[in-house]
Amino acid sequence: MDKTREIICIICPLSCQIKIRVKNKKIVSLESNGCRRGKEYAEQEFYNPQRVLTTTIKVKNSDSSPLLPVRTDKPIPKEKLRECMQYLANIEVETPIEIGQIIASNILKTAVNVIATRRLKS
């Protein structure tokens, strides 16, 4: 049986509400997308939605800042966001830290690294 789903496009401010019909977990038709980029976005969102994760990591030895902000250097699968947060909650780092420094590599075997987004001097 066909199912329908709506995906709101976020590529541009027009925010098209793209309607997709799904059969056997595959998109069989797609409408109301204003442009080609909307089609690509809807397909990506349907088959493999991804997000950049930003959060903070505990800093052991800093008296100026108890937290280090970090982000994934590439988007990770959306369903792994919470698992990734759990993993990062158990990590602690020590200063000095440079922007771009890898804090956790290949996190949850996603081939994505978590990198520092702030410089912390010792």
Partner 1 sequence: MRIQKVDVAVVGGGPAGLAAAIAASSGGAEKVTILDRNKTLGGILPQCIHNGFGLHRFKEDLTGPEYAQRFIDRVEELKIEVKLETMVLNIRPEKKILAINAKEGIFEIEAGSVVLAMGCRERSRGALSIPGTRPSGILTAGVAQQWINLEGYLPGKRIVILGSGDIGLIMARRLTLEGAEVKAVVEIMPYPGGLTRNVVQCLYDFDIPLFLEHTISFIHGKDRVEAVTIARVNEEKEFIPGTEKFIDCDTLLLSVGLIPENELSSSAGVRLDPFTGGPVVDERRQTSLEGIFACGNVVQVYDLVDHVSLEGDIAGKNAALYALGKLKQPKRLIKLIPGRNIHSLVPQLISGEDMTTIFVRVKTPEKSVKLKMGQGIKEVKKPLVNPNQTLTSTLSLKELVLLNALDEVEVSIIKEGRE
- Among residues 3, 37, 82, 121, which is the contact residue for partner 1, using CB under 8 A? 82
Stretch that binds partner 1, among 24-32, 76-84, 104-112 (CB under 8 A): 76-84
Out of 5, 29, 85, 94, point to the residue binding partner 1 (CB under 8 A).
Answer: 85
102 binding partner 1? (CB under 8 A): no
Q: Which of residues 21-40 bind partner 1 (CB under 8 A)?
A: none
Long-range contacts of 17-20 (CB under 8 A, 24+ apart): 18/42, 20/46
Beta strand 26-31 with 67-72 is unpaired
Residues in the chain: 122
Q: Is the Cβ of residue 5 or residue 23 nearer to partner 1 in the bound state?
A: 5
Q: 54, 61, 105, 106: which one contacts partner 1 (CB under 8 A)?
A: 54
15 binds partner 1 (CB under 8 A): yes
Task: Compute the distance between CA of residue 72 and CA of residue 12 in angstroms, rounded to an integer.
Answer: 23
Q: How far is the CB of 41 from partner 1 (least distance, A)?
A: 11
What span, in angstroms and rounded, lies between the C-alpha atoms of 101 and 30?
A: 42
Distance of CA 118 to the CA centre of its chain: 19
| Residue among 46, 43, 36, 38 at smallest CA distance from 16 | 38
Name the one range near partner 1 by CB under 8 A: 25-33, 62-70, 103-111.
62-70
User: CB 42 → partner 1: shortest distance, Å?
Assistant: 12
